[in-house]
Structures are given as C-alpha cells and as structure tokens.
Amino acid sequence: MSETPYVPYAPEKLPAVVRHYLETHRDGDRESLTTVFTPDAKVTDENIEYAGIDAIRNWLAKAASEYTYTTDYTQQTEHSPNGWTVKAHLEGDFPGGEADLRFQFQLEGDRVKELVIEP
C-alpha cells in the first residue's frame, strides 16, 4: 500500500475544528483547546493515552509547563472526510531541540474524537 500523499500546509482547506486546534496549540492557549474535543475523546502523545476531557486537560497543562517551543506546520493530508493528518516541525528546549511530528485527527461531527501525535 502506498503512503497517503501530503500537500503543503493550507489551513483554509482543513476542517474548522482542526484549524482551531492547530492555531490555538501554536499560540499557546492550552485551556481553550479542550473545547475542540468530544467528552470521550482520546489523545495519544509520546505513546501515552489520555482518555476524557479531564485527562486531556491535565496532559495539556503538563505539556505547557515542561517545554517552550515553536511550531511550524508544513504538510497535510485527508485520509477520509473525518480523518486528517498535519505534519509539524517543532524547535525548542526539549531533548534534541527539534522534532518532526504528525498530528493525526479523527473527527466526530465538529469535534475531535481522537488525536494521535507521533513522529
């Protein structure tokens, strides 16, 4: 099976909820990020799963306090009407100083049902 083709990052072509998450994440407004998730949403980051809004809120607070970094979104692809992946390049004071990550969104209606963040 071939890899899904990526196109240059074009936020205007993303669903509004994905665009809102990415812009808010980049701007550092972690508290308002919880509004994009369904009540039973799951986030997987660094191979750890956070299930439900309270766990996601705690993950966001922890992530915000650990490191300072900048995010540059570079590419995106649509897997299905409810599935999107956005690639990002991060630079900051975390181990290694740079990382290329994929933000994989699974949507339910106008909310994020699942988000997986991985290299």
Q: Does domain 7-118 have CATH number 2.60.40.770?
A: no
Average pLDDT over residues 74-87: 97
pLDDT of residue 29: 77
Cα end-to-end distance, the chain, whole Å: 20
Task: Give the residue extent of every domain in the chain.
Answer: 7-118
Instruction: Give residue-wise pLDDT tens across range 25-67.
Output: 888 777 788 899 999 999 999 999 999 999 999 999 888 778 8
Report pTM.
0.92
Closest CA to 40 of 29, 56, 24: 56
The whole-number pLDDT of residue 23 equals: 93
DSSP assignment of 32-43? HHGGGEEEEEEE
What does the block give as tokens for 104? 């994989």
